[in-house]
Amino acid sequence: MGDEPLCDAIVEVIVGTDTARAVWPLVLDTLDRAHPAVIVLNDDTAHTGKSDSLTVGKAVPYGTYNWFFPLGTIAVATARWGSQTRLQLSRGAVAWVNNADVVALAPGTPPPGGIVESVRLVPGPRSLVLRVPLPTHVPFKVEEEEKNLTLRLYGVASDVNWMQYGGTDPYVTRMSYAQPAADEVTLTLALAGPVWGYRTRWSGRDLLLEIRRPPVIDPRRPLAGRTIVIDPGHPPVGAHGPSGLWEPVATLAVAQQAKALLERAGATVLLTRTDSNPVDLFPRTRFAEEHDADVLVSIHANALPDGVNPFTNNGTSVYYFHPRSAALARALDRALVVELGVRDLGMGRGDYALVRNPWFPSALTEGMFMMIPEQEAMLASPEGRLRYARGVARGIEEFLRGMAR
């Protein structure tokens, strides 16, 4: 173990109402520290530059997704455990990634690091681009707050002696930089309005952070001019109800009804699928990004939540991932509960691929439960599908109205 602190992994076994816990012998395979293994995250040979060309990083092996590294990120690997590799991002930060995403670079490759040079913000009509010159493709993280975006760069020191930006830009009101640790640099943009969306890509050795301007919304007709992408959940897979209704059939019907309602209110609506052919998860969010969706909503019907009896815990729930999408999830949950009249299970933050693309606010609705006979019957009926669709359309409209203020 060398100079690494020992840490214990806990294995938890739940059978019915009984829970057993045990310390798991955690054996770290520590790599040679004198000759750090410099790796690249799955070299992006296709250079797609899409937001889904990402490797997820976790603070603990197999943990919650905390970093989204673009392919081509270069880092130092210091340990391996099972199918996980530990990356030393900076002296104070480690991330665990899947071994399968790690490609070793030639021995003797210098570890990433160096100086962040002066940055430039280039305003455009629909977005602004922050260009950050870097010594190499160092690991980074974008941190989002209500009216703030912070770019955290690992393994680098700051030589940012100037930041250039259009002082008259109405959206980015202030930029600042800091060096919170010897080898971490943060660049923070204060915004005049809410965060709507962002994405990152490499341009040579420069990191580009593109920030979307929020749409201009008419509070009396909040859907007018908006582009909404509706994703009918599945296939492949999808739950089956007790009398045989298949989730993808119900969600497509609901999505088509929602499309009609939203279009009547002035929106352009695109569906990620219009028949029962299977579509993978990433092509769905890529489709929404390519069409510059203002909002993405993925429609589902719930099956069995882990370890919970669906006959005592069923109803409406809505999931989101990015902070800005919490208001969308809340509005959808409220509208669906009113329309469907089932129990409110509330909103939650979920690690779902459909709500992780950072280019737009997005939410995933679990309006009803396939497993509950009455709710399955509702999902099978034109009336029930229209109610679900009305909830989705009203939820999106209320979210946009709130953003117009």
- CB-nearer residue toward Zn ion: 181 or 281: 281
**Shortest distance, position 254 Cβ to Zn ion, whole Å:** 12
Residue 315 · residue 345 · CB < 8 Å: yes
- CB-nearer residue toward Zn ion: 53 or 317: 317
Q: Is 273 in the site for Zn ion (CB under 5 A)?
A: no
| φ and ψ at residue 47, rounded to 5 degrees | 50, 50
**Shortest distance, position 251 Cβ to Zn ion, whole Å:** 7
Q: Is 367 in the site for Zn ion (CB under 5 A)?
A: no
Q: Is 233 in the site for Zn ion (CB under 5 A)?
A: yes
- CB-nearer residue toward Zn ion: 223 or 301: 301
> What six digits make up the tokens of 168?
């008259």
Q: Is 137 in the site for Zn ion (CB under 5 A)?
A: no
**Shortest distance, position 360 Cβ to Zn ion, whole Å:** 20
- CB-nearer residue toward Zn ion: 202 or 352: 352
CB atoms within 10 A of CB 104: 11
Q: Is 61 in the site for Zn ion (CB under 5 A)?
A: no
Q: Which stretch binds Zn ion (CB under 5 A): 166-174, 296-304, 305-313, 339-347?
A: 296-304
Q: Is 300 in the site for Zn ion (CB under 5 A)?
A: yes
Burial of 44 by CB count in 10 Å (0-12 exposed, 13-18 middle, 19+ buried)? middle
**Shortest distance, position 66 Cβ to Zn ion, whole Å:** 25
Q: Which stretch binds Zn ion (CB under 5 A): 69-77, 157-165, 292-300, 311-319?
A: 292-300
**Shortest distance, position 299 Cβ to Zn ion, whole Å:** 9
The C-alpha atoms of residue 178 and residue 28 are separated, in whole angstroms, by: 34
Residue 269 · residue 287 · CB < 8 Å: no
Which residue, among 267, 196, 257, 290, has the nearest Cα to 382 in the 3D structure?
257
Which residue, among 45, 36, 11, has the nearest Cα to 25 in the 3D structure?
11
Which residue, among 207, 48, 3, 5, has the nearest Cα to 112 in the 3D structure?
207
- CB-nearer residue toward Zn ion: 94 or 303: 303
Q: Which residue is nearest to Zn ion (CB)?
A: 300
**Shortest distance, position 239 Cβ to Zn ion, whole Å:** 6
Residue 250 · residue 276 · CB < 8 Å: no
Residue 7 · residue 59 · CB < 8 Å: no
CA atoms 191, 181, 130, 320: torsion sign: negative
> What six digits make up the tokens of 193?
């309005």
**Shortest distance, position 302 Cβ to Zn ion, whole Å:** 7
> What six digits make up the tokens of 56?
């997820």
Fill in the per-residue mask, 322 to 351: x = in contact with Zn ion (CB under 5 A), - = not in contact.
------------------------------
* Total residues at interface with Zn ion (CB under 5 A): 2
Footprint of Zn ion (CB under 5 A): 233, 300
